[in-house]
Structure 1
């Protein structure tokens, strides 16, 4: 009797541990999906890098391109920008001063910092402060309307960007001797090719940085979790169908049909869900499916854009997306490992 009680307690303990493992796996999967969706929102624009120092734009070139863009019937939403390190920023009202990174812009700031006050090429009186710099200069985050001074220019704080990095962002002026070597362009869905061509007509043959690769990788990893479960359930239904088929009783034949029906239902449902959820990027679809040279050229362009992404220096606006991408990798890897152990235990 005591032996039976010990066995029962052991089974309950194993079931509780299995339930806990399943709950933790589900939590890891949910957090991985959340990070992957945030990666997707950060990659809703096209990123460009100047082709070497000679390809970078000075203020006059960037301003001329901006003015030409505004004359178009359908102007692009974009920003040319660069990052300067070790710039001295001061709050003369308090007598405080800090060394900071400066993001010098020519264009729309919301392409780099969505959800905050928008700077554009005409807004040269204001700036955006990071919460870290705001805390060091003023002792807090509620600093809108206050003034800061950088390289002889006095700028009004229009908004505070929630970030651990110490930086400020402002629109370039004629006195700024900087070279714009990065760009972000808002891309209208279905017009990736036109947007890319339109920007290059304005600013020259800049190199494309394929940030969408990070989206594809993170979403592919998230798909592994339901994909593994889908394969496991189909194998289980097929196994139960074979076991029922080996018995000759009438009720077992009915059970076989039920398991076989569940197998086909899972197969059809998984395929339909895959077709519904997977979206092929519009620039990956050729005008004619018989155009086999298209895939060769697309592969070369994609490889070159990925190389630019890898070798480019990661700067402050790139950090949020990279953090979300790392989070997606970590949590989905934990979910896949937990699911493997969970299904093996079952």
Structure 2
């Protein structure tokens, strides 16, 4: 497969945790053309374990993210296997020595890409699903004068305690495989990756999804066990265990106020977001329940709370799994962009 993305060289990049990785890289893909005024920009970050390919379901002619109208930048998160990650960083910062990365680190690097590579000063919209939403909130709080609009969907500005506990299960499943070898594995910890798929299966989709047997009726699997193996184990088996652990740390430590700008004052960070915001939780999302989004919106100066009416749980927000949810999100993004 030919490489369909580009690399922005960050040089030696200093992470919040105090490690500085030399020759740090940010992988990204763009769609459309930057106009002369450089004001048709949409930034669309990736999500947990996802790469830019996995964001492309929301881009297309006639959609809100229309490459004929907008210049869309998908920056890949650190740890996702394309940008600098445990799996592709040379010694000594490889594997279990890769830095603990924050969403702040990710957005700082993305800001450099946008400003240094493209000379962009104004962004029309930042949007993203799940950890993409976490980064979207960070963009709004870190660079409040830079964008007009933000649209985080099925994600949060800060990892909740309940969400943190779920991720402890994901991490424990990976680490319980003897082949993991404390992050120094020589062969893929397949049992651990399969176990992660099983842990995720009960969280990624709602109780109603399973009650209504949408794994069989909508996705066409032969049985529940077939779904657990074919969809969930199949989802995680190609991924690198250390990369998953790095991104899980980023997720668990997600907090738009954990930086020198806000010094832990979460409400101040939310209050600093000037962009007009559509905050769109999934109605049945078990990681990011609508109540959490209501709390965020209550502390934001220019935000609307717009739940996605779906029984697809967290997967209402992606990756393009249910056409009705795709249409709902796309319609709301069009409405926001038109405002």
TM-score by length of structure 2 reads: 0.23
Higher relative contact order (Cα pairs below 8 Å, separated by 6+ residues): 1
Rg (Cα) greater in structure: 1
TM-score by length of structure 1 reads: 0.23
